[in-house]
A = this chain, B = another copy of it.
Amino acid sequence: MSTPADRARRAPRPRAPDFFDYPRPSVAVDLVIFTILAESLHLLLIRRGEPPFEDRWALPGGFLRVGMSADDQGEDLDDAAARELAEETGLPPGAHDLVQLRVFGRPGRDPRGRVLSVAYAALIRPTHAPLVRSGGDARAAAWVPVDAALTRPLAFDHREIVRYALDDIRARLDRSDVAFRLVPETFTVGELRAVHDVILGAESDPGNFRRRFVRLVEDGIVEEAPGRRITGRKPAKVYRWRGRPVT
């Protein structure tokens, strides 16, 4: 944080901070919202209603609200992401599993002018996914399978963002709460295994998966829930994830 301020130091120092006179970028917050539908990983896309990229599919998002006064500087990035998530999905703001991925800021990514995009990942339980309505502005929103989202042309550099988000949740799958957030509140071992398999795109051994699962129960990360569930033939025990700690 120096260059423009330094220039000020050489010249007689002005009252107002001079870096405010330099051109500034617009900052958007874009969301990669995942869920599991029909045994596969989906994400939420919006059909753009205006240029640029009119009619193209894009990630839901919006501009960061910035205040102009020193005492009201606007909203926090995380709040902006939470607000967009609520606006676009209509879901209650309890889904506080938003994680900042990184900034995408290549010049030219938005033809209108310099726009930085702060990308966030969110995870929606499949039980909540059908509740998603088409955003406050009645724009077309749809759950799209990830492979389709990666093939289809998207607006801006959103394909790159999706690619990054996908790699990210895959890497975090075993070291964070990702899987627990993509499964109903209560779940069976088989259901959790299905989520793992779908995200990694590989079939895992039921026995070995169960063995790792019982360790989670022993460590108190997961607890037995009342009732059983009939997914296949034999009813299975039901479990619940106990909040935070995974690793």
Contacts of A13 in B (CB 8 A): 50
Q: Decide if A58 touches B1 in the complex (CB within 8 Å).
A: yes
Please give the distance in Å from A9's CB to the nearest CB on chain B: 5
Within the complex, which residue of B100, B107, B111, B139 is in contact with A102, where a contact is CB–CB below 8 Å? Answer: B100
Q: Nearest B residue to A102 by beta-carbon distance?
A: B100
Contacts of A5 in B (CB 8 A): 50
Say if the beta carbon of A121 comes within 8 Å of chain B.
no
Contacts of A1 in B (CB 8 A): 28, 30, 58-59, 61-63, 110, 115, 117, 155-156
Say if the beta carbon of A160 comes within 8 Å of chain B.
no
Please give the distance in Å from A38's CB to the nearest CB on chain B: 27
Say if the beta carbon of A201 comes within 8 Å of chain B.
no
Given contacts A23-B74, A107-B75, contact A3 B102 (CB under 8 A): no
Q: Decide if A70 touches B23 in the complex (CB within 8 Å).
A: no
Say if the beta carbon of A244 comes within 8 Å of chain B.
no
Given contacts A1-B28, A24-B25, A27-B27, contact A73 B118 (CB under 8 A): no
In the assembled complex, the Cα of A25 lies from the Cα of B48 at a distance in Å of 25
Residues of chain A at interface, number, CB under 8 A: 61
In the complex, besides A25-B64, A25-B66, 15 extra interface pairs with C-beta distance below 8 angstroms are: A1-B30, A1-B58, A1-B62, A1-B63, A1-B115, A4-B62, A13-B50, A19-B26, A23-B67, A70-B112, A70-B113, A77-B105, A102-B102, A103-B118, A116-B116
> Mind listing 25 A-B residue pairs with CB under 8 Å?
A1-B61, A1-B115, A1-B155, A2-B46, A3-B63, A4-B63, A6-B50, A6-B139, A19-B63, A19-B112, A20-B112, A23-B67, A23-B74, A24-B26, A25-B66, A25-B74, A67-B107, A68-B113, A70-B112, A73-B107, A76-B106, A77-B105, A103-B118, A105-B118, A116-B116
List 6 tightest A-B contacts by C-beta distance, closest first: A73-B107, A3-B62, A73-B114, A24-B24, A77-B105, A17-B112
Interface residues of chain A, those whose CB is within 8 Å of chain B, are 1-6, 8-9, 13, 17, 19-20, 22-28, 30, 46, 48-50, 58-64, 66-68, 70, 72-77, 100, 102-103, 105-108, 110-118, 137, 139, 155-156
